[in-house]
Amino acid sequence: MRPSKRGRYQNDGNTNLIKIKAFPSAVSLPALFMNDKTQQLKLYKYLGQQLGIKSCQILERAFGIKPIVLTKRELTDIVKEKTGIPAFSADLSHYFVDWKTWEQLIEYDWTDKKKYLVDRYDCDNFAGSFQARMTETYGLNTAGRLYCKVYDKDTGVIVSGHVAVLIVDKDKRVFLMESQNDKTLEINDPTQKLVVGNWRYVLNYVRFN
């Protein structure tokens, strides 16, 4: 089979292969309705890979991120001033956008849609996934993994150690984001009581990579 100029498939005498033109370079693949289960699974793996790549490219183009650049020292100073905790990064430059853009990035991210699995995909994985996707897709390294402890806001009893997300925007505002449910809270000074949902957060430090 081969695609015509209108994108339809034509039989070229070889019914075992089709051309996929939706991807960056057309490649020959086993036909969709093959009987070989192994080959079917191989095709699904390939399509899954290509859809993952394409989804990042589509989001990147849709948002058209145009960040401003500040130094690592400027980033760590902002975090220290607003939260009182140390910030760590191996990057010398950091890329910032406004909070309105961050709100949209959070809305169209799918980290919060993942299923919580004890030890396998829990708080540190949620935070790490969000942080990595922001860097991979948009080149933004101003969302960091926030290490903290969480307490019941009513009883004061400790719930557990925890990892959330800390975001710094281009206006030097700092936000706590719970990557499991997308809830956010702006942090204005180190003495602020940080409550999101049923938890009170006590911050320890943040890593931006």
Mean pLDDT of 187-194: 97
168 and 198 together in one domain: yes
Mean pLDDT of 27-39: 62
81 and 123 together in one domain: yes
Among the residue ranges 13-17, 75-79, 122-126, 162-166, the one predicted with the least confidence is 13-17
128 and 201 together in one domain: yes
What pLDDT, on a 0 to 100 scale, did the predictor assign at position 37? Answer: 84
Per-residue 3-state assignment (H helix, E strand, C coil) for 22-75: CCCCCEEEECCCCCCHHHHHHHHHHHHHHHHHHHHHHHHHHHCCCCEEEEHHHH
| Residue in 172, 101, 108, 183 with CA at minimum distance from that of residue 140 | 101
Range of the domain at 47: 2-63
pTM value is 0.79
Among residues 40, 63, 86, the one where a domain terminates is 63
48: tokens are 């899954």
79 and 109 together in one domain: yes
Q: What confidence tens digit (pLDDT) does each residue in 118-172 have?
A: 989 999 999 999 999 999 999 999 999 999 999 999 999 999 999 999 999 999 9
In the chain, how many domains are there? 2
Average pLDDT, the chain: 87
- The CA-to-CA distance between both ends of the chain, in Å, stands at 47
